[in-house]
């Protein structure tokens, strides 16, 4: 990630002037530690060496609905946030993306979430600083503590604020990928495609799902690869390692 991109993402010049910030490179094998595979599903576990070997590990993240992991933040900042491209590609493969329980606002039986928890527990003590923003992007909630418990507290808070019941389904829904900065890469358009599936009538939902599958086959590998190579979703992990001596 270029200096200008880091400055835009961090937002405070003091950080870049006074804190060591490392760019995570998912393609550099030497930057990663191979921790083997998960016992449940055999997912390859390769994580950033600086993070794995740090005496104090703190992941910072925003908690909001995520179309695969259920909710963003917490364990997701670690994996795939600071993972090797092999691990990233596994998490973005059809095996997880087509799992019927790997959907927004759901953690129960969510295979992707369960793999993330298993991987985080391989690391010993990891802490999380989780935040929640309102629709105007004002800070409305902060939790800190053990990474899984802290994330759960943030999810409990945001769950009641982001889910709205509807009396019926619709044939047409106008949506987006939430705008800047999520519109920086083509891969993010997938979020606007799959999020409204639950409120679309069956025929229109099936059509949207077919579009999603064609999109996945055509571009998900390139898109996921490009977004992580550019640092998307990983800067929280980089700042967590800001002062490793």
Q: Is the pLDDT of residue 219 over 50?
A: no
Given a contact cutoff of 8 angstroms between Cβ atoms, the answer to whether 43 and 84 are in contact is: no
What is the predicted pLDDT for the residue at 5? 85
Q: Cα separation of 179 and 158, whole Å?
A: 20
Given a contact cutoff of 8 angstroms between Cβ atoms, the answer to whether 130 and 151 are in contact is: yes
Furthest CA-CA distance within the chain: 57
pTM of the model: 0.78
Supply the angle between the helices 147-162 and 111-121 in degrees, to the nearest 10. Answer: 150
What is the predicted pLDDT for the residue at 236? 33
Binned at pLDDT 50, 70 and 90, residue 215 comes out as: low
Q: Name 34's bridge partners.
A: 46
pLDDT tens per residue across span 84-111: 999 999 998 988 988 999 988 999 999 9
pLDDT tens per residue across span 68-88: 999 999 999 999 999 999 999
């Amino acid at each position: 990630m270029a200096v200008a991109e880091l400055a835009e993402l961090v937002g405070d010049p003091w950080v870049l002037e006074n804190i060591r910030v490392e760019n995570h490179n998912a393609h550099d094998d030497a930057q990663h530690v191979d921790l083997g595979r998960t016992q449940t599903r055999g997912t390859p576990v390769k994580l950033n060496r600086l993070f794995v070997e740090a005496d104090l590990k703190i992941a910072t993240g925003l908690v909001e609905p995520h179309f695969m992991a259920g909710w963003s933040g917490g364990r997701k900042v670690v994996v795939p946030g600071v993972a090797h491209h092999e691990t990233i590609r596994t998490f973005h493969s059809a095996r997880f993306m087509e799992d019927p329980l790997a959907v927004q606002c759901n953690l129960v039986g969510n295979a992707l979430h369960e793999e993330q928890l298993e991987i985080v527990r391989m690391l010993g003590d990891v802490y999380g600083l989780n935040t929640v923003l309102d629709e105007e992007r004002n800070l409305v909630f902060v939790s800190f503590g053990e990474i899984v418990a802290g994330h759960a507290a943030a999810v409990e808070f945001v769950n009641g604020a982001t889910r709205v019941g509807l009396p019926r389904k619709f044939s047409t829904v106008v949506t987006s990928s939430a705008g800047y900065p999520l519109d920086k890469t083509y891969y993010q358009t997938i979020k606007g495609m799959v999020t409204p599936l639950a409120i679309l009538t069956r025929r229109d939902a099936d059509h949207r799902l077919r579009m999603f599958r064609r999109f996945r086959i055509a571009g998900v590998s390139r898109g996921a690869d490009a977004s992580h190579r550019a640092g998307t979703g990983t800067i929280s992990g980089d700042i967590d390692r800001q002062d490793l001596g």
